């Protein structure tokens, strides 16, 4: 755990935009897939560190719905890498008591990848430890549209009245249903945008951007991100006096 960070100020859910794999490879005159392979190692390292520090959920942006526009050979390599990494890592994930989840559009993915995600989800469903939520073929606008369509179908069937629809009902139809909203979003490689990632869920998420490329992101970088988060005052639209917390517990959301 980072020094001087109270356990109650550790973020419950950390979302990560794992950016910079290609640039990491390019700087070393390596093919882009080499950077993505190093990115897998970084994710393993960070997930283990998060579990050790008491983080409950990590949502990692592995492949966006817009990434299909990349060169075909890179997309194919990424799909294969994600599947191979999951099949290789799932036993260790299970041994450590972690739980696997998937967020995104499943239907467009290769059948073998769909099977791997299903097997990993089923194998780890009862585990009590950190939840690793992998976002693949994920786009937040599509996620929200899918949720609205599902609610519209319920209204059309007469199961729900339009006036009954509230935030909780919509959230129950998102890919991330059942997970808490992210407390902290880490974006590597210095990019200052959300890139269609968890737009609904990140309404009050604290953002942390670092110039460090994702393959180089390690435990020390994670601790710095958590320490920065813990120093912030999360007011959720209220004043400091209303919250009744001091700066030492700034990361604690209101009850």
Residues noted as catalytic = 19, 67
Q: How long, in residues, is the chain?
A: 255
Distance CA 111, CA 113 (A): 5
Cβ proximity of 199 and 67 under 8 Å? no
Distance CA 104, CA 208 (A): 23
The angle, 0 to 180 degrees and rounded to 10, between the axes of the packed helices 219-230 and 32-53 is 50
Starting at the earlier edge strand, list the strands of the sheet with 99-103: 99-103, 131-138, 57-64, 13-17, 184-187, 206-209
206: enclosing H helix or E strand: strand 206-209
59: enclosing H helix or E strand: strand 57-64
Among the listed residues 3, 98, 5, 7, the one whose alpha carbon sits nearest the alpha carbon of residue 44: 98
């Amino acid at each position: 755990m980072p020094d001087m960070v109270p356990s109650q100020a550790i973020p419950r859910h950390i979302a990560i935009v794992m950016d910079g794999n290609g640039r990491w490879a390019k700087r070393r005159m390596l093919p882009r897939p080499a950077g993505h392979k190093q990115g897998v190692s970084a994710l393993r390292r960070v997930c283990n560190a998060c579990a050790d520090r008491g983080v409950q959920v990590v949502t990692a942006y592995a492949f966006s719905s817009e990434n299909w526009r990349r060169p075909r050979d890179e997309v194919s390599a990424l799909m294969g890498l994600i599947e191979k990494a999951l099949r290789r890592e799932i036993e260790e994930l299970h041994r450590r008591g972690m739980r696997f989840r998937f967020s995104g559009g499943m239907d467009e993915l290769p059948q073998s990848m769909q099977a791997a995600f299903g097997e990993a989800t089923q194998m780890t469903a009862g585990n009590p430890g950190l939840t690793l939520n992998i976002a693949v073929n994920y786009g937040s606008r599509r996620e929200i549209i899918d949720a609205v369509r599902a609610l519209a179908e319920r209204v059309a069937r007469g199961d729900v009245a339009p006036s009954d629809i509230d935030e909780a009902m919509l959230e129950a139809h998102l890919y991330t249903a059942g997970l808490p909203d992210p407390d902290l979003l880490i974006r590597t490689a210095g990019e200052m945008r959300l890139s269609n990632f968890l737009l609904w869920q990140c309404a009050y998420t604290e953002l942390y951007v670092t110039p460090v490329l994702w393959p180089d992101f390690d435990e020390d970088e994670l601790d710095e991100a958590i320490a920065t988060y813990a120093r912030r005052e999360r007011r959720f639209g209220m004043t400091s006096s209303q919250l009744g917390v001091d700066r030492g517990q700034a990361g604690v959301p209101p009850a």
